[in-house]
Structure 1
């Protein structure tokens, strides 16, 4: 021990390491692979520096030094490993809206999401820099994504995957409707199909472009849309372009929190182009009646929030 305590007698390289490691040594010995590898390195250094001839007394002192160095080295590696950050599982948050409800959310990266009625959004409690910013959507939402070229923003919605770096766009993805859509307001958006674990690129969209993806047929179409209509629903404006009446009713059900009862299949063939802005549900129904040439009839049960619809059809 005196040999080690005297820097003049001890190897200067080992003395500094040993002194620090000995002070920080823990009572338990570390037998991990890292510690064993570190010990092997020390032994190699010892073998390289060991003189060819030693007196018995010198060898005893050197052996004592080796014992302490080994113990100190194991303690040092234990201390070093204790300083490594412990992986923390990322928590996931979610928000579900009810019929007639829509909310504004701020994600951990400061991106803004307007979540539509009857929708669910799931996202991690934080995004790691340089990693994918992945979230999941069921329903409708308009995104204003913060630009980050090193961390692509990905929205998973059923079999459809939307990837951006920083832009604003709308996703409509209600599973029961059978058709999903992605419409771009600003920037560029890449849309892919994730089918049976295989990712297939479908299209790159720019402002004013809209992709319709058909769930059963697994095909899609791309069309143009007015930029002002991409997120019109946020301001209570709904635009329908050549949409079948049953599908219009599905959207109205969600946003007005009502239930439609169709008394005849003749109405399934009715298709309309219409825009409703800040209209009450009674005003909307009256406009639909007029557009049908007054062939569609309806009755609103306010107490039960039910609208019964019948008529001769639209042919």
Structure 2
């Protein structure tokens, strides 16, 4: 690859405008030059981050030196700066460089956490390192390690709602931590809901069996849940409420369906505010206690409000993208 093309690809990559194909070309270029030389870039545990960056930069720079002594044009300095930036990114990103431990003893590895922030109006599906699967609802914040190396597989639902389908691993139970309770499982599927606005955590089981414990409570005894059972624990209380699951499928929202069964319009509008990151003002207070059973898919907000208005006979106005007035 000539310097002009390499410079253009590198510039587009750091500007954030490179396409998938262009990123692949840049990665392929690096792989090709080092396959030809049989060279690998090693990271010695005694080196500092700056030393690693400089060594990677030197390695790339050697492959771009002219075969004969030539006058270096100003354009080359632009390329040099881009390559230097690439060497910094190489230590932080995956995909451009092969980084392997050196022969010297390495320091003990500390599991790094991945933090997932789910965008508004989207359901995100991720696969954990052990093969377990998690569906995260819009607005959720979820934390998990790159690898499960300890005696337990521990993740954290910081905020939001998640559905878990957990793979059974002998001798390594799975734990979901929330603000006020822990969910302990071996292999099962269940739903966890914990929103600061609601001030409570709700756990509902579909298959298998889970144990619920309260790490901040004096009572360390687990409460067990079987399929179609759930528990609700307020942030302000230490007394959980156990009950049977009522209504439609617990995990319907994973398919971008939101299920309401004999729910008040007040709670429906609150859910829509959260889902669509909007403000819904209800001028007709008589509507608040009206109840409705409905399954809502991934429609636009105005379509959903229109359906509700036909069903419950109210008028509305969408002032802008973030405000709805119910009359």
* Coarse TM-score class (shorter-chain normalised): 0.5 to 0.7
CA distance in 2, matches of 1:199, 1:266: 43
Residue 246 of structure 2 corresponds to residue 229 of structure 1: no
Q: Secondary structure at the match of 1:255?
A: helix
Which residue pairs with 2:161 in the alignment? 140
Q: Are 1:158 and 2:175 an aligned pair? A: no
1:256 shift after superposition: 3.2
More moved, 104-113 vs 221-230: 221-230
**Does 1:213 pair with 2:233?**
yes
Are positions 1:112 and 2:133 aligned together?
yes
Q: Report the Cα distance in structure 2 between the residues aligned to 1:270 and 1:215, rounded to whole angstroms.
A: 28
Compare 209-218 and 229-238 and name the one that shifted more. Answer: 209-218
1:143-199: CA deviation from partner (whole Å, max 9, x where unpaired): 111101311111111102111111111111111112321111211111222335x45
SS in 2 for 1:249: helix
1:169 corresponding residue in structure 2: 190
The answer as to 2:85 corresponding to 1:96 is: no
Aligned to 1:188: 209
Call closer, same or farther: CA 1:160–1:201 in 2, change over 3 Å: same
Output the TM-score relative to the length of structure 2: 0.60
Q: 1:161 to 1:286 in 2, by over 3 A?
A: same
Query: Equivalent residue of 2:268, what SS?
Result: helix
Q: SS state of the match for residue 229, structure 1?
A: coil
Alignment correspondent of 1:5: none
Match of 1:282, SS? helix
Answer yes or no: is the 8 Å Cα contact 1:185–1:227 preserved in 2: no
Q: Which residue of the partner structure matches residue 37 of structure 1?
A: none
Distance 1:287 1:106 in 2: 35
* Equivalences, count: 224
The two structures have a TM-score, normalised by structure 1, of 0.62
Given the superposition, is the C-alpha separation of residues 218 and 248 from structure 1 closer, same or farther in structure 2, using an over 3 Å criterion?
A: farther
- Indicate the structure (1 or 2) with the bigger Cα radius of gyration: 1
Does the residue aligned with 1:162 lie in a helix, a strand or coil?
Answer: strand
Conserved 8 A contact 2:193-2:202: yes
Please tell me whether the aligned partners of residues 263 and 308 of structure 1 are also in contact (alpha carbons under 8 angstroms): yes
Equivalent residues of 1:184, 1:227 under 8 A apart: no
Match of 1:20 in 2: none
1:123 alignment partner, one of 110, 132, 144: 144
Please tell me whether residue 298 in structure 1 is matched to residue 319 in structure 2: no
Matched, 1:253 2:273: yes
Determine which structure has the larger strand proportion and give its number. 1
Alignment partner of 1:180: what SS?
strand
Checking the alignment, whether the CA contact within 8 Å between 1:169 and 1:182 is kept in structure 2 is: yes
Quote the Cα distance in structure 1 between the aligned partners of 2:235 and 2:202: 11
Alpha carbons 2:205, 2:229 under 8 Å: kept: yes
> Residues of 1 paired with 2:122 and 2:132: CA distance?
20
- CA shift in 2, pair 1:98/1:201, >3 Å: farther
Change (3 A) 1:192 1:121: same
Q: Secondary structure at the match of 1:139?
A: strand
Q: Is the 8 A contact 1:133 1:153 kept in 2?
A: yes
d(CA) in 2 for partners of 1:236, 1:202: 33
Deviating beyond 6 angstroms after TM superposition, the runs of 4 or more aligned structure 1 residues are 82-85
Query: Unpaired runs of 5+ in structure 1?
Result: 1-81, 311-315
